[in-house]
Amino acid sequence: MTQERENMASRVLNPASLVNYQEGSVVSRMLVFKKTGTITVFAFAKGEELFEHTAPYDAIVQVIEGSGIFTIKDEKFSLNTGEILIMPANIPHAVYAEENFKMMLTMIHEKDTLKM
């Protein structure tokens, strides 16, 4: 764990305040980096995007400020502040910022071994 992440541990944080918008950019800040998963906060400037790609892990996106457009396969979803979207592993997805928005991405790296 980096010194910066150690300093965030056991503290109440407002994730939207941890990244700032930068015109023409997507800014990210990793909060947790573990073998079992990661948590990263992003600030998308208006008009920025992550082009279609896949990830080998399930992911949960939570919009923490503004709204963003998410595409999974060919289906578009508009998410607003406080809403989440579960993105399955190995399925093409993309993100587009019609306006400035911030999101928190939680990636789950561990295989599903829980028996119910």
As a whole number of angstroms, the distance between CA 41 and CA 32 comes to 10
pLDDT of residue 23: 97
pLDDT of residue 95: 98
Domains annotated on the chain, with CATH: 3-108 (2.60.120.10)
- Each residue's pLDDT tens digit in the chain (116 positions)? 566 666 677 889 999 999 999 999 999 999 999 999 999 999 999 999 999 999 999 999 999 999 999 999 999 999 999 999 999 999 999 999 999 999 999 999 876 655 55
As a whole number of angstroms, the distance between CA 69 and CA 76 comes to 7
pLDDT of residue 11: 86
